């Protein structure tokens, strides 16, 4: 009995110790916030000392010049304290994902009634609703900052000066694998934009007023840019747009050399003046849309469309320049496309096609830069590694062997094309060599590509271990892409492939290398704006060029699925 009692006491002590032991996340938060609190307290003490000096100088009637010097010194310390306070808010919001607020408040006791120089008074001990107060704009040359998070929701940066920041930050940072690529910047409401003539020379005293910019990002390019501006009287709207896309990787340099051309004019209100003053005029792209990538994060984001300003009343009427942060969700399900297929011919017929197939693919951009000034055009835009696994029925998965008449005692594969038909593993890469579109508005694109395909089939042997038969294919083809809508389209890809068999098997002779003519037609659809839940209908045909009677078909229905690594977040600044 005494032994049991001792064991219970030891167990209780262990549990108590485990509960009181800090987690790695709590240790990290404690280290950061404790150091921050020491700096904040020290700087706050300096500020109180300098503020007292300033009050004493005012009371003593010191010279105005001396008072101004002291006020400037006090303001500098106050700005330093504001920086520490904002850093505290950011660090606290980040650690709230894993550490309770009560714990965080122990490491850095929240300052009550703190009021930044350029913001509103914040009492960390009160609710967010109690902290909501209006604040005036500071200097006209400052920039208005906005955070776009979740499903393109917009929040004014000022909310990050109070407890609302905690809710927003927790949503933004709930997905760990998210990268800030850079930021877009647009002019303020009614800001003047310089006009240029057909020679791209600035026209003296010719300006328009900025209103809105819409643009799409596609395959690493800012593809379609459409800008709305007005005259100074707000009686006419002018529409400008680009001719060819600009790569995001060299956008800061190329945007200065590219211009938007005038397309149309709309009369507003009761205006009867139909004269088009901006006809044949141009706008420099960098004057209406600037993109600055973050150092080390100049990568290619997902395809997306943006409209700036987004619609918030304060944001639309903001006269300061506005910034929007571009964030990319980089978790695996967002950058890798996984599909599963079933083959109708294998399902309903006696065709040896895989009933269950899984395919994974990812795009890696190589040279996503435009090379043409008149048409959207790329060389070596991207390479797409892929893996395709097929689960074949046991009765059909083995290659069919026949006796070799030219070499008695050995066997050979009767139909060389069967190697492709019964491959259970197909992996390789597709390189887009040349991509072309007649105009950026065209729903039709052409891609010339080179493909490297490594395929493995099975040789069944009775009472012995099965063998793998390997073949390597080099292919060249063209891919035609058609779109009915953004989320509904059709791709068609004819290609010629040369297959070289790579095997040394004692009891059989390798078949001759073959040319294969392959066609692939695919219809795709995904609901809404997200491609993560997509469906596909794909038809493939394969024909041995040396024997047109030897061919086979695949009719597949598939869908793209996610691997459950987290939700997708987006934010803009």
pLDDT of residue 529: 67
CA-closest candidate to residue 165, choices 211, 131, 115, 199: 131
Which one is predicted more confidently, 112 or 375?
375
Residue 426 pLDDT class (50, 70, 90 cuts): very high
Which one is predicted more confidently, 452 or 54?
452
The CA-based angle 281-283-284, given to 5 degrees, is 140
Q: What is the mean pLDDT of residues 322-335?
A: 74
Residue 353 pLDDT class (50, 70, 90 cuts): low
Beta strand 236-241 pairing with 259-267: antiparallel
- pLDDT digit string (tens) for 377-389? 999 999 999 999 9
Check whether 261 has a pLDDT greater than 90.
Answer: yes
Q: What is the mean pLDDT of residues 501-516?
A: 86
Which one is predicted more confidently, 316 or 541?
541
Please state, in angstroms and rounded to a whole number, the distance separating the CA atoms of residues 35 and 411: 77
Q: Which ranges constitute the DSSP H helices of 61-180?
A: 64-95, 101-107, 128-131, 164-172
Check whether 35 has a pLDDT greater than 80.
Answer: yes
Which one is predicted more confidently, 375 or 178?
375
pLDDT of residue 566: 37
pLDDT of residue 12: 47
Which one is predicted more confidently, 25 or 438?
438
Among the residue ranges 121-130, 292-301, 544-553, the one predicted with the least confidence is: 121-130
pLDDT of residue 15: 47
Is residue 10 within a helix (H) or strand (E), and if so which, with residue range? helix 2-20
Check whether 464 has a pLDDT greater than 70.
Answer: yes
Among all chains, which residue has been given the structure tokens 């550490």? 99
The CATH classification of domain 21-115, taken from the options 1.20.58, 3.30.1450, 1.20.1640, 2.60.40: 1.20.58
Please state, in angstroms and rounded to a whole number, the distance separating the CA atoms of residues 352 and 420: 11
Q: Check: CB of residue 568 under 8 Å from CB of residue 532.
A: yes
Longest dimension (CA), the chain: 118
- pLDDT digit string (tens) for 217-258? 888 889 899 999 999 888 889 999 998 999 888 888 888 889
Residue 39 pLDDT class (50, 70, 90 cuts): confident
Distances (CA, A) of 246 to 229, 249, 253, 281, 569: 21, 9, 10, 20, 25
Spell 224-253 as b/e; 16+ CB within 10 A means b. bbbbbbbbeeeebbbebbbbbbbbbbebee
Q: Check: CB of residue 166 under 8 Å from CB of residue 314.
A: no
Residue 134 pLDDT class (50, 70, 90 cuts): very low
Helix (H, G, I), strand (E, B) or coil at 189: coil
pLDDT of residue 299: 76
Q: What is the mean pLDDT of residues 287-295?
A: 87
Residue 522 pLDDT class (50, 70, 90 cuts): very high
Among the residue ranges 408-422, 424-438, 537-551, the one predicted with the least confidence is: 408-422
Residue 19 pLDDT class (50, 70, 90 cuts): very low
Helix (H, G, I), strand (E, B) or coil at 68: helix
If you average pLDDT over every residue of the chain, what do you get? 80
Check whether 403 has a pLDDT greater than 90.
Answer: no
222 CB-side CA count, 13 A: 26
CA 396 to chain centre: 42
CA-closest candidate to residue 260, choices 315, 210, 317, 189: 210
Q: What is the mean pLDDT of residues 279-297?
A: 88
How much of the chain, in percent, has pLDDT values that exceed 90? 28
Residue 309, preceding peptide bond in cis (omega within 30° of 0)? yes
Which one is predicted more confidently, 279 or 275?
279
């Amino acid at each position: 009995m005494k032994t049991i009692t001792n064991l219970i006491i030891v167990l209780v002590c262990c549990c108590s110790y485990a509960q009181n032991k800090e987690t790695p996340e709590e240790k990290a938060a404690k280290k950061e916030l404790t150091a921050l609190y020491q700096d904040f307290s020290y700087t706050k003490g300096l500020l109180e000392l300098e503020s007292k000096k300033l009050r004493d100088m005012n009371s003593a009637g010191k010279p105005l010049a001396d008072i101004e010097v002291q006020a400037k010194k006090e303001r500098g310390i106050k700005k330093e304290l504001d920086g520490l306070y904002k850093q505290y808010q950011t660090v606290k919001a980040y650690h709230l994902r894993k550490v309770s607020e009560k714990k965080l408040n122990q490491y850095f006791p929240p300052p009550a009634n703190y009021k930044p120089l350029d913001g509103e008074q914040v009492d960390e001990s009160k609710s967010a609703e109690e902290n909501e107060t209006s604040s005036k704009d500071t200097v006209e040359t400052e920039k208005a900052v906005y955070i776009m998070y979740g499903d393109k929701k917009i929040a004014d940066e000022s909310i990050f000066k109070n407890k609302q920041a905690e809710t927003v930050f927790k949503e933004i940072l709930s997905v760990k694998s998210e990268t800030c690529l850079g930021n877009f910047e647009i002019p303020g409401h009614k800001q003047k934009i310089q006009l240029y003539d057909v020679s791209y020379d600035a026209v003296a005293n010719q300006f328009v007023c900025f209103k809105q910019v819409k643009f799409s990002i596609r395959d690493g390019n800012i593809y379609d840019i459409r800008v709305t501006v007005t005259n100074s009287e707000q009686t006419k709207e002018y529409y400008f747009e680009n001719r060819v896309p600009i790569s995001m990787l060299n956008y800061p340099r190329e945007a200065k050399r590219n211009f938007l051309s005038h397309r149309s004019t709309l009369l507003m209100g009761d205006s009867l003046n139909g004269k088009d003053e901006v006809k044949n005029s141009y706008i420099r792209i960098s004057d209406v849309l600037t993109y600055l990538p973050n150092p080390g994060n100049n990568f290619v984001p997902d395809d997306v469309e943006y409209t700036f300003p987004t619609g918030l009343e304060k944001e639309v009427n903001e006269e300061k320049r506005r910034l929007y942060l571009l964030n990319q969700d980089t978790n695996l399900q967002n950058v890798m496309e996984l599909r599963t297929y079933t083959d109708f011919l294998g399902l309903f017929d006696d065709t040896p096609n895989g009933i269950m197939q899984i395919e994974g693919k990812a795009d890696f951009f190589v040279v996503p830069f435009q090379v043409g000034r008149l048409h959207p055009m790329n060389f070596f835009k991207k390479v797409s590694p892929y893996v395709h696994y097929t689960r074949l029925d046991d009765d059909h998965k083995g290659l069919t062997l026949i006796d070799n008449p030219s070499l008695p005692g050995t066997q050979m594969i009767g139909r060389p094309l069967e190697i492709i038909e019964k491959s259970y593993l197909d992996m390789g890469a597709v390189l887009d060599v040349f991509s072309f579109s007649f105009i950026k508005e065209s729903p039709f694109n052409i891609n010339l590509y080179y493909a490297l395909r490594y395929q493995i089939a099975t040789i069944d042997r009775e009472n012995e271990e099965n063998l793998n038969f390997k073949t390597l294919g080099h292919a060249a083809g063209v891919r035609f892409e058609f779109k009915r809508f953004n989320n509904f389209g059709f791709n068609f890809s004819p290609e010629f492939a040369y297959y070289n068999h790579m095997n040394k098997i004692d009891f059989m002779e390798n078949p001759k290398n073959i040319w294969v003519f392959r066609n692939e037609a695919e219809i795709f659809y995904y609901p809404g704006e997200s491609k993560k839940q997509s469906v596909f209908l794909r038809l493939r045909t394969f024909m041995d060029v040396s024997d047109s009677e030897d061919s086979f078909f695949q009719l597949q229905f598939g869908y793209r699925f996610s691997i459950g690594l987290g939700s997708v977040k987006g934010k803009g600044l």
